[in-house]
Amino acid sequence: MLFVRVVPLAALLDLYSRKVVGWSMGERPNVELTLAALNMALLHRKPATGLIHHSDQDPQYSAGQYRDVLLRNGLQASMSAKGSPHDNAVAESFFSNLKNELVHHVVFDSREHARAAIFDYIEVFYNRQRIHQTLDFVSPIEFEQGLAVA
């Protein structure tokens, strides 16, 4: 049995709805991984020019190739201060939830098993079922559909 603890994951969240709008898993954290997540978000959201793309200062987010895609799509890059996780609190919270609600409780027997479980966590549970206090106790998709209780 192969013990898989970590599968590199890049995720982009909509700060308004907390929905994971772009994500990618790979063999290692690199610019290709983050570009795949960004391209998924761009494809599904088609953001307006001027949208602010917030990230930490990891090299894959400051890479020229990544910044070029942001520029070509009219997105404005904003990076958190070095060593300040509070600037990226929503993403930090998502990754903490993923670890606490899935990863710490499962021994994956393969990378494919880990990928499938993370896919289900994001697409089936987190975006569609997991309620958020900041969203009036509805899921991100319900919040975007206007189902939050007033």
Residue 149 lies in a domain: no
Question: Is residue 4 domain-resident?
Answer: no
Calculate the average pLDDT of the chain.
88
Asked whether residue 45 is assigned to any structural domain, the reply reads: yes
96, part of any domain: yes
SS3 sequence of the chain: CCCECCCCEEEEECCCCCCEEEEEECCCCCHHHHHHHHHHHHHHHCCCCCCEEEECCCHHHHCHHHHHHHHHCCCEEEECCCCCHHHHHHHHHHHHHHHHHCHHHCCECCHHHHHHHHHHHHHHHHCCCCCEHHHCCECHHHHHCCCCCC
pLDDT of residue 86: 64
Structure confidence at residue 1 (pLDDT): 38
Residue 119 counted as domain residue: yes
**Per-residue model confidence (pLDDT) at position 81:** 73
Predicted local confidence at residue 49, as pLDDT: 95
pLDDT lower than 50: segments of the chain: 1-4
Residue reference for tokens 């993370």: 118
For 76, phi and psi rounded to 5 degrees?
-100, 120
**Within-domain flag for 3:** no
Q: What is the extent of the structural domain holding 14?
A: 9-144
What gap in Å lies between CA 102 and CA 66, rounded to an integer? Answer: 29
CATH code (residue 33): 3.30.420.10
Tens of pLDDT, residues 32-60: 999 999 999 999 999 999 999 988 888 89
Report the domain count for the chain: 1
pLDDT at 126: 97
The reply to whether 128 falls in a domain is yes
